[in-house]
Structure formats: C-alpha cells, structure tokens
A and B are shown apart, each in its own frame.
Chain A
Amino acid sequence: MNELWLKARLYYEIFGQSDLLSEYQQAYLSVINKPITSAPLMAIDLEMTGLDPQQDQIISIGIVPIEPSLMPLSIPLAKAQQIMINIDGSVGQSAAVHGIVDHHLSSALTLSQAMEWFVEKTKGHILVAHHAPMDIGFLQSHLYKTNGRAIKLPFIDTLALEKQRLLRQHDVLKEGSLRLDACRQRYGLPTYSGHDALTDALACAELFVAQVNSIGDINTLSAAEFISI
C-alpha cells in the first residue's frame, strides 16, 4: 500500500518534467520496490547553521553508502564522503556545536555546486538519516533555491524506525531514548566522540544496519516498507 502511494506521488511529480531532478526521482522509482537487503542506500547527515530550513543554511554534508552483502548489509568506507558549503555570512553560534570554523569553509563548494554533487552522489539511492525530516527539509529547501523547483525526497528515518520498535515493546518512551547515541547503545554499537557530518552519517548508517539485522525475515521486506513520506 505504502509502496503504491509512494510511487504515485513520485510519478505525479515527474510527470511532464525533464530536468536533473526528475531523472533523480526516476532513479528513485526503480529502487524502492527492491528488497531492503539489495536496495542501494545512502546514509546522510547535515550540519546546519540553525534549525529552520527556510532561514538557516547547510554547512556540510556527509554521505555514507550502505551496500548489500552477506551480513546482509555492509558499509564501504571508501565511498564515504563529506563536503563543506560556502555560506552567506558567518557560521554563527552553532560553530561551537560542530566545530566548523569559517576558515574551514574557505575551500568549500558553493551551494549550487554542493547540490549538484549531492544529486549526483545519491542518485539511485534511498536516503537514510536519523531524525530525517529535518535534514530532508533542508535539502528540499536548498534544492528549491538552486533548481527553482520543490521535489519530494523519500527517505528512511532511523529515529522513526526505532520509535516504532520501542513502542511495540514498551508503552512509554523515556526522554532522550531516541537520540542517536542512545539508539546505538541498544544495539551494542560504540559511542563516537566526533560530531561532524561524516561521523554522524556513519553512526546513522551503522544504526540502520543494526536495525535491519534485528528484524527477522528481512529478505521478504521491500525498501518501500521502510520509507516514510
């Protein structure tokens, strides 16, 4: 059901369009009905100057692919990447959080370069993020800025998955129990000290692999069943 609805939405958006973004969405369509264990996935994480997609800007993007393997998923670090984006004005207060200082950004890409890079790298991959709506919101708004068109980006949210799982087990969620580190701990994953986009994307990728592993009969599930719209 979910799958049909998703496909319908995407077809609707692509209809009549023939630009970079619709190719992107076309590629998306071809993977969402694959089993989750063989669908190309890409964990992402963004660092932003603030929390408002309309006002604040993306500073850096980390991407970490997740590939099918025997386990049944694995993460090749060779393809893990991170870019910095040149922003208008200064990083501001959030610099303290992610340790990115202005001069780091001097060698960075412009926003349109960055979006081009993002589209190219993640094309044909289903996006995975922790607390994904936020990151996706930023991406959509930035894509709008560069391409002048709003598009739908289907994604998998590890936070939502974890929430469902926990709710199935307990009825009450403790505060903070859905934070990335807290989720990771439940799967016996180590705590990472760094908090740049790349490390967080990796942390999210590992969490997702662990989540998939903890589900029985994974091979029968298609990617679409994980996707929130």
Chain B
Amino acid sequence: MDVQTLTYLIVGVTFALYIGIAIWSRAGSTKEFYVAGGGVPPVMNGMATAADWMSAASFISLAGIVSFTGYDGSVYLMGWTGGYVLLALCMAPYLRKFGKFTVPDFIGDRYYSQAARTVAVMCAIFICFTYIAGQMRGVGVVFSRFLEVDVETGVYIGMAVVFFYAVLGGMKGITYTQVAQYCVLIFAFMVPAIFISVMMTGHILPQIGFGAEMVDAAGNGTGVYLLDKLDGLSAELGFAQYTEGSKSMIDVFFITGALMFGTAGLPHVIVRFFTVPRVKDARVSAGWALVFIAIMYTTVPALAAFSRVNMIETINGPDSTGVSYKAAPEWIKNWEKTGLITWDDKNGDGNIYYTNGDANEMKIDRDIMVLATPEIASLPAWVIALVAAGGLAAALSTSAGLLLVISTSVSHDLLKKNLMPDISDKEELKYARIAAGLGVVMAGYFGINPPGFVAAVVAIAFGLAASSLFPAIIMGIFSKTVNKEGAIAGMLSGLFCTAAYIVYFKFVNPSANVSDNWFLGISPEGFGLVGMFINFGVAFAVTKVTKKIPDDVVAMVESIRFPKGSGEAQDH
C-alpha cells in the first residue's frame, strides 16, 4: 500500500476511535456507573491534560525549530515546561479555591468589575485566536503533504475538519477521547524517533541516543558523537554552532519568560484542573501530565538533531557537495508539491545544495521537519501515515479546547452578560457556534498568511497572554491592594504595548525585524515579558492614585491565600 492510502486508513481509524469513544461514553455511562466509577482516575486526566497542552505547535514545529536553530530553539522547551509547572503548582490551586471556572470570571470577581471581566474576555479571545491560527497552519501542513496539495488547500481542508470536529461533532472535551488522542500522538511521535535512534546510534531511547556515538550501517560504533558531528556540519556550512545558538542572552531570557508566564495565562488548560473533584487528585493528575509532556519534550532535541544530520547528509550527499536533482531523494520531490520545499539551481549544476548564505539552493520550511523525518530516514510507509494521524490529533485536541473557550466567552461573557441579557439558551448556543465558526475562519486566514512559522505564531499568543492576563491573575491572588482601575489599566497597557511591538516588527515593517532595531535587543517573541512588567507597573501606579479596594474583596483575597482547606474533603 502506498503512503497516501495508508494515511487515509490510519487517520480514518483514529477518527473512528475518537467518535467511538465519544458515543460509548455518552451512551454507556448511566448515573450509577458514573458514581460508582468515582470519576476519572488522575492518570487518565493527566493524559487528557497533556493532549490539551500539546498542540500542533509542539508536535509539528517544536522539533523543526530546534532542528533549524539548535540551542536557540530550546527556549520553547524551557519556557513551556516552566510555564506548565508554574500553572499547575502555583496558580491552579488558588484559582480553584476561589471557585472560578474561567480566568475572566476570576478577574471579574476579584476586581469587582464587569469592565475588568470584559477586558479579560477580550484578552482571552485575542490570545486564543492567535493560538488557533498556529494550529491551523500545522493541520494545513499535514494535509498538504498527505493529500499532495499545496499548503493553502491543506489549510482549507484542515479548517473543515476542525470545524466539523469542534462545532458539530459533540466529541470534544470528553476525557477519554483526549486520552486516546494523547496515545495516538505520543505513539506517532515516539515511533520514528526510536527507529532513527536505533539506526543512527544503536540506542532504543532517543534521549540516550542524543548524547551517544553514531553507528554505521552495520551497527559498529564510529567514535563520532552525534552532537559533535552536527556542530561540525553546521560549522562547515556556515551555520551557528548547533549547541551554541545565535540569540543574545537577554533575548533568550525574555522569550523564555514570555513563554512561561504566557502559559500560565492561557485559559483552556486551567479548566482541566477544575474538572477533577478533589484538589489532591488535581495535583496528582498535574504531575502525571508533566510526565506525559516530558516524554515528548525530552525526545524533541534528539529527534531534531537526528533529522538535521539526516537532512543535511541526504541533500548534500556523502561528499558535501550536493547530489544531482534527478537523483534527489523521494521526500524532496514529495514536499516540493506542497510548496514548502523549493529548489533554486543558482549555480546551474543540476545539483541540490543546502548551506547558510548565498550559495544555498534549498528553501526548506521548518514546519515540515517532524513530518518529513520518517521519509528522510526511509522508514516504512505506515510510520509516515502514523505521524500524520498524530499531528492531526495534536491539532484537534488543542483547537477544540480553545474554540470552546473562545466561543463560549463570546456568547456567554460578551453577548449574554453584556450586550443581550435577554437571549434564550438556544440563541446563546447559536452564537457560540457562530463564534467558533468565525474563529476557525479567521484562524484559517492567519494559517495561510502566517506571520511566521507555527511555533512563532504560538509564541506571540503566549507573549500576549503573559502581558495581559498573567499579571492580573498574580496580582489578584497575591496583592490585597490592586484595585479594578489598576487591573484594567494594567491589562490594557500590557496587551497594547506587546501587540504594537509585535505588529510593528512582524507586519508593518518586517525588514526592520533584526536585533539591532529591537528594544534592548529583545525580539517580538520575547516582548511579552516586557509587556508583563509594564502591566505590573501601570497597575500598581494606577492603584496608588485611585480608590481603595473594598474590604470584602480584601477578605476574599485573604481567604484564597489561607493555605488550609484549599478544598480538601473530609472523608466520611
């Protein structure tokens, strides 16, 4: 069977699995069963959280970006992991104690103001849109490759699939569906990584293979370490050393910070912690989620390095001068159809050649790395199909969660609570679906016209979250003085500064987007942290000159921070 048929087959089977689970969990769970089962076990919930968490960006682009930028790419790994820990351990328990299901609701109540809630809703919606745009691009890449269409058509197909899944399917948000999605995506990610690790280093675990000697085809050690080889290749071709990186220290620091604090402000993951009834279980499942996320995140650098070596060697050939286009590996031709790889025979020798600088003849989109790796390494066709299913699983689970947040926020928080208090349930639901549909369409637009590759788009979403929601939440929990005027001014100024900085460098004047022009050498991806400081500063300043916070709110904040009984049940 060829790759395409297999892809249809495996993607079809996984979809059937999700739908099957959804039907089973709807029909099979009578009340007695539900009560007897005592809810969802923490391990399962951990997997579901991990599926929510790991988006198409993690699955498709993370390894690609690490692969292309080496050490620089690791900021994503550090930022996201740190953010997750911050969210799970430092914020979720407090928010839970407050009894609020969504971040805007928390902000609205803590800052005793409908305006603050509305601003928070706007921020959340804005962030989610950006985030979904990243997912759409990822789905587009998957479809374009496996249906052999260009990436634009791929995004259209992806939009249809996500719309069907999120708006009509009725299978989203079901824990066991997400567990299945996690299983599919982690399996799809690990299988090629293990295959390649065995092929290149003889180690089954890619994490170990990453730091090990390379082996030749016969399995004998060559004495050359993978990373040394990669550094050598990079130097030879004029790239920065793989393990060194090119970003300035301050930029790395700020990007990591923005990603980390942005994570904590993302609305859709927090909800998962609240669907677990007991605080203890919520903590345990957060721990499990960290384990499940770590399985993938620790594999990313290894996979990135393997595929980098493989890629350079297959393009440039054994003698590093390039191979003839006619003899070029199959995967290059396959990906050319999507428009994500282009060959420009500058020196007219009929060979393909990849290097840094003017002599480079290959333009390779970073987002294809994970998807192309099995092909580059000539793995069996079913592995390639599996990766497609995995990418889809990652994109679906995350975008469904986000679309729910956006659409319910629009219909419930914006329309019902602000603009049309008299609408019926049915209309509210209708508006939610319309909002989700619009979300998909807008995300699709930005998926086709991306301001950067998937991970970078997503990084912007995090930057916005870090500059707007995160400070409001932190001050809400830990400050007894910040009042509504302060919070609103802080959120708006943080969001506005960050968005302006990003829009300027990414859209208005992209040619100026080099480190010399940046504020303190901080890239747009990292500016969210600056926005966060602005937010804090403005909030405290405005608080100083405006009315004091009411006493009952002070009492409320004190009760949140009161450590005992953050919801521990006494057993009876």
Q: Do chains A and B touch in the complex (CB under 8 A)?
A: no
